[in-house]
Amino acid sequence: MTVNNLELYRDTFDGMEPFSGHVEKGYLIDFIGQRTDANFRAIWGVDPAATGGCEVQTQMPSLEDGEAWFECFNWVAAAREARGSYVMMTLGACYGGQAVGSYLALQALNPMPAKLVAVDGVPENMAMTRKQFRDNGIDPNDHWLIEAAMSGDNQPVLFPVGSPGSGAQNCVITNSGANRMAILELAKRSGATEKLAQSLLLRNSTDLTINLAPDSKYDFTGEITFVSAVTLQDLLAPFPRVDFVEADLQQSERLVFPPAMDALTKKVRRVLLGTHGQDTHDMMVRLFRERGWDILFDYSPGQSYETPYGAFDMNDGVLTAINPAVAYSS
């Protein structure tokens, strides 16, 4: 299969009409009709007081939207090919927009029973995800919303909790052996080992904060805290088939996916990964190719692309892969 052959997918949104209508005060809405509380986007500079309360005509996704086009493409493509029932997982769920968008696309294009699985290690993010579900007519109690960090095993991890809605958290650095030793040495030098021990025992926290996005104009901070961890193997185990796995794990993909490749290749039809750093992107592409997956899209992070169908910029990288070992009967 030819990679990045956008010509093959130009008709993905054919036959769909973008949302048009009234949007209540304080809400955003997208082409599929997904309502999002503007407070969830305030961390990115959105003013909830100046949002909604008017008639809105949305537009269909455009390649110039960059990463967002690939997200919407996968919502629609996964919905169109599903058969019988549908399972979608979003890892690093933030406020649950990927799960809700996938669900709404399914019900609009190919209605069937669905199970959504949303995982995030930030408590406020999971509260927002529950509200995002309810705001879009989905009962969160009918789905799996799991408050945990994604990791390669089930050991509790040091994870930066904070800046809800930023989607900037991972445990790659904070949970490393080197970082754990650095925290201990810092406490020793400052005479704060007793305070550290007390905080860990009573609050599961180091009482230390870090800047989650030092190169960003936004002030995203997180408190380094012990949180529970879940693996991708754990999530996949109950399901005979999973239609779509979306992950935006801020480099934790390099911890989460390698040990799960046997289960993924046995059960999962489609993945969409946001990749972070060229080394991690290349690692993920290699991992899926070696297991026989077909790579649809392979765009590295932090680059600009010119195509016959539009130019776009990538912040995170995009990897979309289809598993020929999990096919649908017509």
In the chain, what percentage of residues exceed pLDDT 90? Answer: 71
Which pLDDT does position 223 carry in this prediction?
Answer: 83
Helix locations, 157-210, DSSP H = 177-189, 193-203
Task: Give mean pLDDT, residues 67-76.
Answer: 96
Which pLDDT does position 173 carry in this prediction?
Answer: 77
Which pLDDT does position 200 carry in this prediction?
Answer: 87
Q: Give the end-to-end CA distance of the chain in Å, rounded to a whole number.
A: 21
In the chain, what percentage of residues exceed pLDDT 70? Answer: 95
What is the pTM assigned to this prediction?
Answer: 0.93
Which pLDDT does position 206 carry in this prediction?
Answer: 85
Give the pLDDT band of residue 167 (cuts 50, 70, 90). Answer: low
* Complete domains list, the chain, with CATH: 17-59 (no CATH), 61-153+229-322 (3.40.50.150), 167-225 (no CATH)
14-41: pLDDT as tens digits: 999 999 999 999 999 999 999 999 999 9
Which pLDDT does position 83 carry in this prediction?
Answer: 95
Strand order in the sheet with 157-161: 157-161, 221-227, 205-211
Which pLDDT does position 165 carry in this prediction?
Answer: 62
Higher-pLDDT residue of 236 and 212 is 236
97-143: pLDDT as tens digits: 999 999 999 999 999 999 999 999 999 999 999 999 999 999 999 99
Which pLDDT does position 210 carry in this prediction?
Answer: 75
Average pLDDT along the chain = 92
What is the distance, to the nearest Å, from the Cα of residue 311 to the centroid of all Cα atoms in its chain?
24
Contact 197, 226 (CB under 8 A): no
268-289: pLDDT as tens digits: 999 999 998 899 999 999 999 9
Contact 145, 130 (CB under 8 A): yes
Give the pLDDT band of residue 166 (cuts 50, 70, 90). Answer: low
- Rounded CA gap, 312 and 306, in Å? 7
